[in-house]
Amino acid sequence: MNALEQLIFLLEGVQITLSVSVFAFLLGIATGIPMMLLRAFGGKLWELIVEGYEKVLRGVPIVILMLLFYFGIGVRVPFLRDPFVSAALALGIRSGAYQSQIFKGAMRGVGEDQMTAARALGMSKLKAFRHVVLPQMFIIASAGLGSEYALIVKDSAYAFFLGGGLLDVITRADILRAYALTEHWEYPYFAYIPTALIYIALTFPLATYLDRWGSRRKKKLGI
Amino acid sequence: MPDVVAEAENVWMEYKDIIALRDVSLQVGEGKIKVLFGPSGSGKSTLLRCLAMLTKPTRGKVFLRGEELTSPEADIDKARAKIGFVFQNILLFHHLRALGNVTLGLRRVLGLPKQEAREKAMKALREVRMERWVDHYPAELSGGQQQRVGIARALAMEPEIILFDEPTSSLDPELKGEVLDAMKDLAKKGRTMLIATHEMHFAREAADEMIFQDEGRIIERGTPKHFFTNPSTDRARRFLARLVREGQSNV
């Protein structure tokens, strides 16, 4: 393969890296918000349970979660025996534990008064949350969510440890390395540099955009 | 009494180390304007919040059109939709434009279709002379404009009664007038209102009855004329004298 072919081969992994990451990010939102709500409104017991769960997830290296899902639980649960599923699920539930914190801070930022004003109109708690609190939470949380997304994209590279079944960017870089070193093992190998640049391109612009969009929006709305 | 809109009956509100309301009873009849006044901390806000069931009184009963809201079976959300509330610190929804602030309840609580909600909201915004600001976010409006949107938000729901919790006290003096004017307009149209305020000019002009509250109790009630000529309790007299003094020094 010439350099261009190699680059194309790497770029073909972008789709997979992004799919894993976006899926994990959405799963993080879908688990993070309910956990935050359970913690805030579920009473003392739920608070303790959720807090413990979050501490464990935030304390364990992500690669261990992936390996556990794929090689551990996956042996008995065929659904997890797919490296895409194992990687995305591990990244997603771990992200939920972080996003729960992000949303907790955001809800505090929205403040209870907004809830009161919505309830005064006759909205149920759920409606008030959905139509008044949540939209403002996303604005306040946007910068935090941006860096959380960037973290997921980078950590998705650990899927590399799942044995090469997932042809994401990092796994493809490793395939190129293996291919190059069998033929020219004595030469220094630099394809990790474009690989790194690809990861930067996948994270930096969106995270920066969300950060700026969030600050502009906050300023405009006075929140 | 079929024409009583809102009623508090022997309401108490007791917190851990403070009693905010002590055995307060009050009725607001259809089309009546009542002004609630008294020193800060006298329980005016708490009483209004109890009437809207934003806080549940620890003892006593609250009624809306004869329906007991303090009963466990009461549908509080449904009742709140019929009670307008204007907040001291305004509390517009930051993320919605003026129009969106007014349509939200119409759409999501009353379930009106978009177009109808919009028309109703515009009507309410015209009543407070904010029709030209509908596309502005709250942060882009002055305090007085924000509060007028706050009034429109309550008004658009066509409530049985509007409760005002010191609607001008967070505003700069030069912005109070436009809000008070909007409230006077509503008064002329026969809206039922209960207003906690220290604006004695407004009270004199618009109130059917004034209620003086201190330390969680209703101390004295009467017409504006009664209060401004010859209040019968010492506390009311002293409080009014102080308000007048401060009012003069503010001008």
DSSP line for B185-227:
HHHHTT--EEEE---HHHHHHH-SEEEEEETTEEEEEE-HHHH
Helix (H, G, I), strand (E, B) or coil at B96: coil
Cβ distance A223 to B95 less than 8 Å, yes or no, reads: yes
Reduce the secondary structure of chain A to three states and give it as a string: CCHHHHHHHHHCCHHHHHHHHHHHHHHHHHHHHHHHHHHHHCHHHHHHHHHHHHHHHHHCCHHHHHHHHHHHHHHHCHHHCCHHHHHHHHHHHHHHHHHHHHHHHHHHHHCHHHHHHHHHCCCCHHHHHHHHHHHHHHHHHHHHHHHHHHHHHHHHHHHHHHCCCCCCHHHHHHHHHHHHHHHHCCCCCCCHHHHHHHHHHHHHHHHHHHHHHHHHHHHHHCC
Whole-number average pLDDT of chain B: 95
Q: What is the pLDDT of residues A164-209, one digit of tens each?
A: 789 999 999 988 888 887 776 667 777 889 999 999 999 999 999 9
Structure tokens at B219: 């101390």
Asked if A113 reaches chain B (Cβ–Cβ under 8 Å), the answer is: yes
Structure tokens at B178: 């436009």
Asked if A195 reaches chain B (Cβ–Cβ under 8 Å), the answer is: no
- Model pLDDT, residue B248: 57
Does the pLDDT of residue B1 top 80, yes or no?
no
Q: What radius of gyration, in Å, describes the C-alpha atoms of chain B?
A: 18
Domain containing A87 — which CATH number? 1.10.3720.10
- Model pLDDT, residue A65: 96
Residues A71-95, mean pLDDT to the nearest whole number: 93
Residues B102-108, mean pLDDT to the nearest whole number: 98
Element (H, E) at B68: strand B67-68
Here the ipTM equals: 0.93
Q: How far is A98 from chain B (nearest CA, A)?
A: 25
Whole-number average pLDDT of chain A: 93
- Model pLDDT, residue B154: 98
Residues A4-32, mean pLDDT to the nearest whole number: 95
Q: How far apart are CA A43 and CA B87, in angstroms?
A: 29
Share of chain A above pLDDT 90, in %: 80
Helix (H, G, I), strand (E, B) or coil at B22: strand
**pLDDT-derived band at A3, boundaries 50, 70, 90:** confident
Does the pLDDT of residue B85 top 50, yes or no?
yes
- Model pLDDT, residue A185: 64
**pLDDT-derived band at A2, boundaries 50, 70, 90:** confident
Does the pLDDT of residue B107 top 50, yes or no?
yes
Does the pLDDT of residue A38 top 90, yes or no?
yes
To 5 degrees, how large is the angle CA B224–CA B152–CA B52? 65
**Extents of the domains making up chain B:** 1-47+57-70+176-251
Share of chain B above pLDDT 90, in %: 93
Q: How far is B81 from chain A (nearest CA, A)?
A: 4
Asked if A132 reaches chain B (Cβ–Cβ under 8 Å), the answer is: yes
Residues A20-42, mean pLDDT to the nearest whole number: 95
Residues B27-42, mean pLDDT to the nearest whole number: 95
Cβ distance A113 to B89 less than 8 Å, yes or no, reads: yes
Q: Which residues of B touch A223 (CB under 8 A)?
A: 94-95, 139
Asked if A126 reaches chain B (Cβ–Cβ under 8 Å), the answer is: no
Q: What is the pLDDT of residues B138-168, one digit of tens each?
A: 999 999 999 999 999 999 999 999 999 999 9
- Model pLDDT, residue A189: 75
Q: How far apart are CA A147 and CA A15, in angstroms?
A: 20
- Model pLDDT, residue A165: 83
Split into its structural domains, chain A has a count of 1
Determine the residue type at B169. Answer: S
- Model pLDDT, residue A181: 77
Q: What radius of gyration, in Å, describes the C-alpha atoms of chain A?
A: 21
Higher pLDDT, A69 or B244: A69
- Model pLDDT, residue A104: 96
Element (H, E) at B124: helix B114-127
Structural domain of residue A77, as residue ranges? 3-221
- Model pLDDT, residue A75: 87
**pLDDT-derived band at B178, boundaries 50, 70, 90:** very high
Cβ-contact A126, A119 below 8 angstroms = no
Angle of helix A192-221 versus helix A134-155 axis, rounded to 10: 170
Classify domain B1-47+57-70+176-251 at the CATH topology level: Rossmann fold (3.40.50)
